[in-house]
Structure formats: structure tokens, C-alpha cells
Amino acid sequence: AQSVTQPDIHITVSEGASLELRCNYSYGATPYLFWYVQSPGQGLQLLLKYFSGDTLVQGIKGFEAEFKRSQSSFNLRKPSVHWSDAAEYFCAVDPLNYGGSQGNLIFGKGTKLSVKP
Amino acid sequence: EAGVTQSPTHLIKTRGQQATLRCSPISGHTSVYWYQQALGLGLQFLLWYDEGEERNRGNFPPRFSGRQFPNYSSELNVNALELEDSALYLCASSLGGRQGVWTDTQYFGPGTRLTVL
């Protein structure tokens, strides 16, 4: 079955430390890939996206993600975390069924990030 | 540039009633999407509208319906409310068919929190 897996439900890092959030997907073809962030009680903000081309994607707020086809992964990274990064992070996939988008993003369950001072 | 807006922010209904949620897309966007974010179930795709037409529908019962108006704003209606309909309902918009784009980034609004008592 098509799915998006974020294996870490909750991660705690110290301010200034590096961060990597994992995302794996299971689809036949390469889908379109996204990372969104959600602060408590808020909507989703797009951090970055991958459609094609360079597999290392730069996003807002100093985040980057790397698409690895062989591992079906799209992990999110940040070299130095700030207290304001505490939020929930969602990996999403547009599976491109039937060769095109059907509008239905498939989301992982999310990873909640806590930042220690 | 104004983002996606949703109203109301909060909505409290009782079981069996109907709820109407509204969404205004980013200016220039013609596609509107609806998602449900329920506790324990994660983010699930509900509906996709483009150019006034329903383009795709998620795995939800028919009492979830909606429409898109000529100005591209959208309405989500939930009939015969059940307790498990309590959730954050997120609307997103993107460029769509009018712009010749059928696969594009979805930008999300702040959501409407629906509580069913």
C-alpha cells in the first residue's frame, strides 16, 4: 500500500545542535515530495519541496532535504536548531497516480520537535 | 500578498447538525483542497476543486461535500455531524488548470477547528 513513514514521533534536541528528521515513502514511481511545519493550533507552512533535478533541496528557515531514490527517503536537516523551530514537522507526498497529480497529498504522521535551551 | 484564509476559526456544533466551513484561496490560485486533521488519524485528504469542478475526493462519506464558487473560494459542508467529525479542517490552494498547471505546491490556511458535542 502507498504510505509515508516518519519513524520518529518525538525528537528533542538542544538549541544549536544539528537536526535530521526522517521520511520514507513507498510508491512505485518517484512522487513529488514536501516538508511542512505546523505550530500548535496553526495551519501548515511549506518548508521545501522536491519535484525533480538536484536531489539536495534548500528551503526556508535554514532547512534542507535530500532525496535518495535508492532508499525512498526524503530526510529533512538543519545544521543548527533554534528554539523557534519547536513545532511538528510533516513529510508529504504527491503520489502522481495515473501519471499526474490527483490533488491528494499523503502525509506522514508527523514528528514533534522539542528544543532544549 | 494575503495567504489562504479560512472562516470561522472555531465552530461548535451538536451531533446531527450541519457545519459550513469557508475558504478563500491565494489570489491567482484556482485549485482548492480540503483536508481533515483529526486526533490520532493524522492529515487526510477530503476534496479537490478546480474551476468549479470536483476533481478528486478522498475516502469520506457523502455527507462531506463542498463546492467552489466563480471567485474560486470554496465551502465545505458536513451534514449529520458525528462526534468523530471533531477535527481541524485545513484548506489549501494552488495554481490550477486555468494556469495550465495540474501539479503544484499546495499552500495551507490556518484551519477551522470544528468541535461536535
CATH code assigned at A32 = 2.60.40.10
| Nearest residue to B102 via CA among A115, A6, A104, A61 | A104
For residue A32, the chain B residues in CB contact (below 8 A) are 103
Domain total for chain B? Answer: 1
**Residue B91, C-alpha cell as written in the block:** 484548506
Residues of A in contact with B50 (CB under 8 A): 103
Single-letter amino acid, residue A90: F
Distance of alpha carbon A59 from alpha carbon A48, whole angstroms: 5
pLDDT of residue B33: 96
Q: What is the CATH number of the domain that holds B82?
A: 2.60.40.10
Q: Is residue B116 part of a domain?
A: no
**Window from A64-68, A101-105, B10-14, B17-21 with minimum mean pLDDT:** A101-105
Q: How high is the pLDDT of residue B2?
A: 83
A110 Cβ contact list (under 8 Å, min separation 6): A6, A9, A38, A88, A89, A90, B42
Task: Identify the pLDDT of residue B103.
Answer: 62
Using a CB-CB distance cutoff of 8 angstroms, which residues of chain A are in contact with residue B103?
32, 51, 94, 96, 100-101
Question: Cα(A51)–Cα(A42) distance, rounded to whole angstroms?
Answer: 26
Q: How many domains does chain A have?
A: 1
Instruction: Provide the residue range defining the domain that includes B12.
Output: 5-110
| Position A1 pLDDT exceeds 70 | no
Residue B65's nearest CA partner among B19, B12, B5 is B19
Classify A89 in phi/psi space as left (phi over 0), alpha (psi -120 to 50) or beta: beta
- Most confident by average pLDDT, A51-55, A91-95, B27-31, B73-77: B73-77
> Domain span at residue A65?
3-116
* Percentage above 90 pLDDT, chain A: 72
As a whole-number percent, the residues of chain A with pLDDT over 70 amount to 95
Per-residue pLDDT of chain B (117 residues; tens, 9 = 90+): 689 999 999 999 999 999 999 999 999 999 999 999 998 889 999 999 998 999 999 999 999 999 999 999 999 999 999 999 999 999 999 987 655 556 678 999 999 999 999
**Confidence check: pLDDT of A9 > 90:** yes
Q: Would you say residue A36 has pLDDT above 70?
A: yes
Confirm whether B117 is domain-assigned: no
- Does residue B105 belong to the interface with chain A, where contact is any CB pair within 8 Å? yes
Kindly give, in sequence order, each residue whose CB lies less than 8 Å from that of residue A112, ignoring residues fewer than 6 positions away: A9, A10, A11, A87, A88, A89
**Contact assignment for B110 to A103 by CB distance below 8 Å:** no
